[in-house]
Amino acid sequence: MSHLSRSVGIFSIALLTVLTLGVSAATAQVSTIKDGWLVMKVHSEFVNEDVLAGSNIDVDVKNGVVTLQGTVPSDAARARALELARKNDGVKNVVDQLKIAPARAENRVGAITGRAGENTERAAERAADKTERAADKAADKTADATRNTGRAVDDGWIKSKIYAQYLADWNTVLDDSNIDIDVDNNMVTLNGTVKSAEAKTKAVSVAKATDGVKGVKDNLRVVPGR
């Protein structure tokens, strides 16, 4: 074998070794991604998506398999939620259990049989005035809790926002946490486990400070050394 052939052979082996080590390192990195971190990461992707306004999505992760449950307002919202979940490192598969939320029935003032047209018109005007006052009041109350891009602060947004904030603390006090967040009429319930009393305090304080949250029920358990 010529000197040139031997050099090419050695170079090829060295290159193959480097590539193999690189793939192994990447695989090891992905394998260390934890389910609790993925829950937070997927939710963080949802926060700034206006197409998901009105959604209330639960993210469950087991061994890298993401399951999306809950409601979305449209097929476009469902497609976007699935796309955002799939793109994250460490996600092996995404199971779609999302449902399209039924449209809310509109209030129809004046549809009562037997009422005179004049009474119906007055009822409609009173209802419109009442609705307008309520809307103005709600707008004033939530103005500071509405994103600049226009997505309203609702239960689904609050849930994703809290998870996104938890993600920022994953490498400090909230690493190894496995927290389940439930939001009902702006009331937050925290279930699951954290590694320390400090992590428990942090999780609760972050939730309480989130825009739109009216109250927090703490059911978190401290499980050291997870």
pLDDT tens digits for range 5-60? 555 455 445 444 444 444 333 333 334 689 999 999 999 999 999 999 999 999 99
Take residue 194 and report the two structure tokens written for it.
Answer: 């954290």
Confidence of residue 121 (pLDDT cuts 50, 70, 90): low
Instruction: Find tokens 């689904």 and name the residue.
Output: 156
Confidence of residue 134 (pLDDT cuts 50, 70, 90): low
Q: In Å, what is the CA distance from 114 to each residue of 37, 95, 111?
A: 60, 52, 9
Residue 121 lies in a domain: no
Take residue 101 and report the two structure tokens written for it.
Answer: 């939320």
Residue 173 lies in a domain: yes
CATH of residue 179's domain is: 3.30.1340.30
CA dist 175 and 181 (Å) reads 16
Residue 123 lies in a domain: no
- Mean pLDDT value across the chain: 77
Residue 169 lies in a domain: yes
User: Mean pLDDT: which of 113-122, 149-158, 182-191 is highest?
Assistant: 182-191
What pLDDT sits at residue 81? 98
The better pLDDT of the pair 118, 111 is held by: 118
What pLDDT sits at residue 119? 52
Q: End-to-end CA distance of the chain: give it in Å, rounded.
A: 57
- Give long-range contacts, CB 8 A cutoff, 24+ apart: 192-197: 192/220, 192/221, 193/220, 193/221, 193/222, 193/223, 193/226, 194/220, 194/221, 194/222, 194/223, 195/222, 195/223, 195/224, 195/225, 195/226, 196/222, 196/224, 197/222
Q: Residue 150 pLDDT > 60, yes or no? A: no
Q: Residue 208 pLDDT > 70, yes or no? A: yes
Percentage of the chain with pLDDT > 90?
A: 58
Query: What domain range includes position 59?
Result: 35-103+146-222
Residue 14 lies in a domain: no
Residue 93 lies in a domain: yes
Confidence of residue 124 (pLDDT cuts 50, 70, 90): low
What pLDDT sits at residue 102? 63
Q: Pairing state of beta strands 187-194 and 221-222?
A: parallel
Reference 52, options 43, 61, 39; nearest CA is 43
Residue 156 lies in a domain: yes
**Average of per-residue pLDDT across 163-185:** 94
**Average of per-residue pLDDT across 166-183:** 93
The answer to whether residues 218 and 200 touch, using CB atoms and an 8 Å cutoff, is: yes
The better pLDDT of the pair 163, 125 is held by: 163
Residue 133 lies in a domain: no
Q: Running DSSP on this structure, what letter comes out for residue 64?
A: T
What pLDDT sits at residue 123? 54
What pLDDT sits at residue 101? 85
The better pLDDT of the pair 129, 56 is held by: 56
What pLDDT sits at residue 65? 97
The tally of domains found in the chain comes to: 1
